[in-house]
Copies of this chain bind each other. A is one copy, B any other.
Amino acid sequence: MRDPRRDPPAAKVAPKAVVGRVSLYLRQLEHFERQGRTTVSSSQLGESLSINNAQVRKDLAFFGQFGYPGVGYRIEELIAALRHILGIDHEWPLALVGLGNLGRALLKYRGFRSRGFHIVALFDNDPEKVGQTFDGLTVEPLEALRKTVSVRMVRLAALSVPAEAAQRVADQLVTCGIHGILNFAPVTLSVPSGVSVVAVDLSVQLEHLAYKVQNTQGGISYAG
Protein backbone atom coordinates (compact mmCIF):
# COMPACT_ATOMS: atom_id res chain seq x y z
CA MET A 1 0.00 0.00 0.00
CA ARG A 2 1.03 3.56 -0.62
CA ASP A 3 2.28 5.30 2.53
CA PRO A 4 1.47 9.01 2.22
CA ARG A 5 4.06 9.82 4.90
CA ARG A 6 6.88 8.31 2.87
CA ASP A 7 5.89 8.37 -0.79
CA PRO A 8 5.80 11.62 -2.73
CA PRO A 9 2.36 12.72 -3.96
CA ALA A 10 3.63 12.85 -7.55
CA ALA A 11 6.63 11.43 -9.37
CA LYS A 12 7.96 14.79 -10.52
CA VAL A 13 11.51 15.85 -9.74
CA ALA A 14 11.81 18.71 -7.27
CA PRO A 15 13.50 21.95 -8.38
CA LYS A 16 17.11 22.50 -7.39
CA ALA A 17 16.23 25.23 -4.89
CA VAL A 18 13.79 22.95 -3.05
CA VAL A 19 16.30 20.08 -2.88
CA GLY A 20 18.94 22.49 -1.59
CA ARG A 21 16.63 23.65 1.20
CA VAL A 22 15.75 20.05 2.09
CA SER A 23 19.49 19.45 2.63
CA LEU A 24 19.52 22.43 5.00
CA TYR A 25 16.40 21.23 6.87
CA LEU A 26 18.06 17.85 7.31
CA ARG A 27 21.18 19.44 8.85
CA GLN A 28 19.03 21.50 11.22
CA LEU A 29 16.96 18.46 12.24
CA GLU A 30 20.13 16.49 12.96
CA HIS A 31 21.30 19.41 15.10
CA PHE A 32 18.01 19.34 17.07
CA GLU A 33 18.28 15.55 17.47
CA ARG A 34 21.77 15.87 18.94
CA GLN A 35 20.27 18.35 21.45
CA GLY A 36 17.81 15.64 22.53
CA ARG A 37 14.70 17.20 21.01
CA THR A 38 12.01 14.91 19.57
CA THR A 39 9.56 17.27 17.83
CA VAL A 40 9.79 20.61 16.03
CA SER A 41 7.40 23.08 14.39
CA SER A 42 7.86 24.43 10.86
CA SER A 43 8.61 27.87 12.36
CA GLN A 44 11.32 26.47 14.62
CA LEU A 45 12.79 24.45 11.76
CA GLY A 46 12.95 27.46 9.46
CA GLU A 47 13.98 30.03 12.06
CA SER A 48 17.74 29.49 12.19
CA LEU A 49 17.82 29.19 8.39
CA SER A 50 15.88 32.46 7.86
CA ILE A 51 13.19 30.54 5.96
CA ASN A 52 9.58 31.30 6.89
CA ASN A 53 7.24 28.56 8.08
CA ALA A 54 5.00 28.66 5.00
CA GLN A 55 8.02 28.00 2.80
CA VAL A 56 9.16 25.13 5.05
CA ARG A 57 5.71 23.51 4.87
CA LYS A 58 5.48 24.00 1.10
CA ASP A 59 8.94 22.53 0.50
CA LEU A 60 8.23 19.44 2.58
CA ALA A 61 4.73 19.04 1.06
CA PHE A 62 6.43 18.54 -2.28
CA PHE A 63 7.53 15.11 -1.05
CA GLY A 64 4.64 14.02 1.16
CA GLN A 65 2.79 14.80 4.37
CA PHE A 66 5.04 14.73 7.37
CA GLY A 67 3.47 16.96 10.04
CA TYR A 68 1.10 15.91 12.86
CA PRO A 69 -1.63 18.32 14.03
CA GLY A 70 -0.78 19.73 17.45
CA VAL A 71 2.66 18.05 17.41
CA GLY A 72 4.58 19.40 14.44
CA TYR A 73 7.21 17.18 12.93
CA ARG A 74 8.63 14.12 14.69
CA ILE A 75 12.35 14.72 14.28
CA GLU A 76 13.61 11.14 14.03
CA GLU A 77 10.89 10.25 11.50
CA LEU A 78 11.45 13.36 9.38
CA ILE A 79 15.24 12.80 9.33
CA ALA A 80 14.72 9.25 8.04
CA ALA A 81 12.23 10.45 5.41
CA LEU A 82 14.46 13.26 4.15
CA ARG A 83 17.52 11.00 3.98
CA HIS A 84 15.42 8.55 1.96
CA ILE A 85 14.17 11.32 -0.34
CA LEU A 86 17.68 12.65 -0.95
CA GLY A 87 18.99 9.15 -1.58
CA ILE A 88 21.52 9.33 1.24
CA ASP A 89 20.05 6.55 3.37
CA HIS A 90 22.77 4.43 1.75
CA GLU A 91 26.41 5.16 0.91
CA TRP A 92 27.56 6.40 -2.50
CA PRO A 93 30.98 5.37 -3.76
CA LEU A 94 32.51 8.32 -5.57
CA ALA A 95 35.28 8.66 -8.16
CA LEU A 96 37.46 11.76 -8.03
CA VAL A 97 38.78 12.73 -11.46
CA GLY A 98 41.58 15.31 -11.58
CA LEU A 99 44.17 15.50 -8.80
CA GLY A 100 45.22 19.14 -9.17
CA ASN A 101 44.95 21.61 -6.30
CA LEU A 102 41.18 21.49 -6.13
CA GLY A 103 41.04 17.70 -6.49
CA ARG A 104 43.49 17.21 -3.65
CA ALA A 105 41.48 19.63 -1.50
CA LEU A 106 38.27 17.75 -2.27
CA LEU A 107 39.95 14.50 -1.28
CA LYS A 108 40.45 15.83 2.25
CA TYR A 109 37.09 17.57 2.45
CA ARG A 110 35.40 15.96 5.44
CA GLY A 111 31.92 17.06 4.41
CA PHE A 112 31.64 14.37 1.74
CA ARG A 113 32.35 11.36 3.93
CA SER A 114 30.20 12.61 6.77
CA ARG A 115 27.20 12.62 4.37
CA GLY A 116 27.83 9.11 3.01
CA PHE A 117 29.87 10.01 -0.07
CA HIS A 118 33.04 7.91 -0.08
CA ILE A 119 35.82 8.62 -2.54
CA VAL A 120 36.92 5.13 -3.58
CA ALA A 121 38.93 5.80 -6.75
CA LEU A 122 41.22 8.54 -8.12
CA PHE A 123 41.92 9.25 -11.78
CA ASP A 124 44.25 11.59 -13.61
CA ASN A 125 45.76 11.79 -17.08
CA ASP A 126 49.08 13.26 -15.88
CA PRO A 127 51.78 10.52 -15.98
CA GLU A 128 53.46 12.19 -13.00
CA LYS A 129 50.31 11.79 -10.90
CA VAL A 130 49.37 8.23 -11.98
CA GLY A 131 50.68 5.76 -9.42
CA GLN A 132 50.93 8.33 -6.62
CA THR A 133 49.04 7.56 -3.44
CA PHE A 134 46.79 10.07 -1.66
CA ASP A 135 44.96 9.13 1.55
CA GLY A 136 45.53 5.43 0.83
CA LEU A 137 44.20 5.56 -2.75
CA THR A 138 46.43 5.16 -5.81
CA VAL A 139 45.83 7.45 -8.80
CA GLU A 140 44.81 5.44 -11.88
CA PRO A 141 44.99 6.51 -15.53
CA LEU A 142 41.70 7.28 -17.28
CA GLU A 143 42.09 4.08 -19.29
CA ALA A 144 41.32 2.15 -16.10
CA LEU A 145 38.05 4.03 -15.62
CA ARG A 146 35.66 1.47 -17.12
CA LYS A 147 36.95 -1.46 -15.12
CA THR A 148 37.22 0.37 -11.80
CA VAL A 149 33.77 1.98 -12.15
CA SER A 150 32.29 -1.44 -12.82
CA VAL A 151 34.15 -3.34 -10.09
CA ARG A 152 33.59 -0.68 -7.41
CA MET A 153 29.97 0.06 -8.42
CA VAL A 154 30.73 3.76 -8.80
CA ARG A 155 27.87 5.87 -10.19
CA LEU A 156 28.97 9.37 -9.16
CA ALA A 157 32.11 11.31 -10.06
CA ALA A 158 33.55 14.62 -8.91
CA LEU A 159 35.22 16.27 -11.90
CA SER A 160 38.06 18.67 -11.06
CA VAL A 161 40.04 18.79 -14.32
CA PRO A 162 41.02 21.92 -16.29
CA ALA A 163 38.22 23.59 -18.26
CA GLU A 164 39.65 22.61 -21.63
CA ALA A 165 39.64 18.89 -20.73
CA ALA A 166 36.30 18.77 -18.92
CA GLN A 167 33.94 17.85 -21.77
CA ARG A 168 36.25 15.15 -23.14
CA VAL A 169 36.69 13.57 -19.70
CA ALA A 170 32.94 13.85 -19.01
CA ASP A 171 32.28 11.92 -22.23
CA GLN A 172 34.62 9.18 -20.99
CA LEU A 173 32.88 9.10 -17.60
CA VAL A 174 29.47 8.68 -19.23
CA THR A 175 30.73 5.97 -21.59
CA CYS A 176 32.14 4.10 -18.61
CA GLY A 177 28.83 4.08 -16.72
CA ILE A 178 28.91 7.18 -14.51
CA HIS A 179 25.34 8.47 -13.94
CA GLY A 180 26.06 11.72 -12.09
CA ILE A 181 28.83 14.31 -12.30
CA LEU A 182 29.66 17.01 -9.77
CA ASN A 183 31.37 19.45 -12.10
CA PHE A 184 33.95 21.89 -10.71
CA ALA A 185 35.30 22.94 -14.12
CA PRO A 186 34.02 26.37 -15.22
CA VAL A 187 32.31 25.05 -18.36
CA THR A 188 28.79 23.81 -19.09
CA LEU A 189 28.92 20.06 -19.76
CA SER A 190 26.79 18.42 -22.42
CA VAL A 191 25.65 14.94 -21.36
CA PRO A 192 23.06 12.44 -22.62
CA SER A 193 19.60 12.41 -21.01
CA GLY A 194 19.69 10.04 -18.09
CA VAL A 195 22.96 11.48 -16.84
CA SER A 196 22.82 14.21 -14.20
CA VAL A 197 25.22 17.10 -13.76
CA VAL A 198 25.42 19.50 -10.83
CA ALA A 199 27.75 22.40 -11.54
CA VAL A 200 29.82 24.01 -8.79
CA ASP A 201 30.93 27.42 -10.01
CA LEU A 202 32.55 29.23 -7.12
CA SER A 203 32.66 32.54 -9.01
CA VAL A 204 28.84 32.49 -9.23
CA GLN A 205 28.76 32.34 -5.44
CA LEU A 206 31.25 35.21 -5.18
CA GLU A 207 29.11 37.24 -7.57
CA HIS A 208 26.14 36.59 -5.32
CA LEU A 209 28.19 37.80 -2.35
CA ALA A 210 29.21 40.95 -4.24
CA TYR A 211 25.57 41.58 -5.14
CA LYS A 212 24.47 41.20 -1.51
CA VAL A 213 27.22 43.43 -0.13
CA GLN A 214 26.46 46.08 -2.74
CA ASN A 215 22.74 46.00 -1.98
CA THR A 216 22.94 45.96 1.80
CA GLN A 217 21.44 49.24 2.92
CA GLY A 218 23.06 51.62 5.34
CA GLY A 219 26.40 49.89 5.80
CA ILE A 220 27.12 47.77 8.81
CA SER A 221 24.73 47.99 11.72
CA TYR A 222 25.34 45.88 14.76
CA ALA A 223 21.87 44.58 15.49
CA GLY A 224 21.41 43.36 19.05
A interface residue numbers (CB < 8 A to B) = 11, 13-14, 16-17, 19-20, 23-24, 48-49, 85-88, 92, 94, 100-102, 104-112, 114-115, 117, 155-156, 158, 174, 179-182, 186, 188, 192-198, 200-223
Contacts and interface: CB of A to CB of B under 8 A. Distances in A.
30 contacts: A11-B217, A16-B208, A19-B208, A23-B203, A23-B207, A85-B211, A86-B211, A87-B207, A87-B210, A87-B214, A87-B215, A88-B210, A92-B206, A92-B210, A100-B108, A101-B107, A109-B202, A111-B201, A115-B203, A115-B206, A117-B210, A179-B220, A182-B202, A192-B223, A193-B222, A193-B223, A194-B216, A194-B219, A194-B220, A198-B212
B205 A198 contact: yes
A114 B204 CA distance: 12
B193 A155 contact: no
Contacts of A110: 186
A22 to B, nearest CB: 8
Contact of A19 (B49, B104, B211): B211
Contact of A215 (B13, B188, B206, B222): B13
A156 B16 contact: no
Contacts of A24: 204
A48 B188 contact: yes
Given A23-B208, A196-B213, A202 B13 contact: no
Contacts of A201: 23, 111
A65 to B, nearest CB: 19
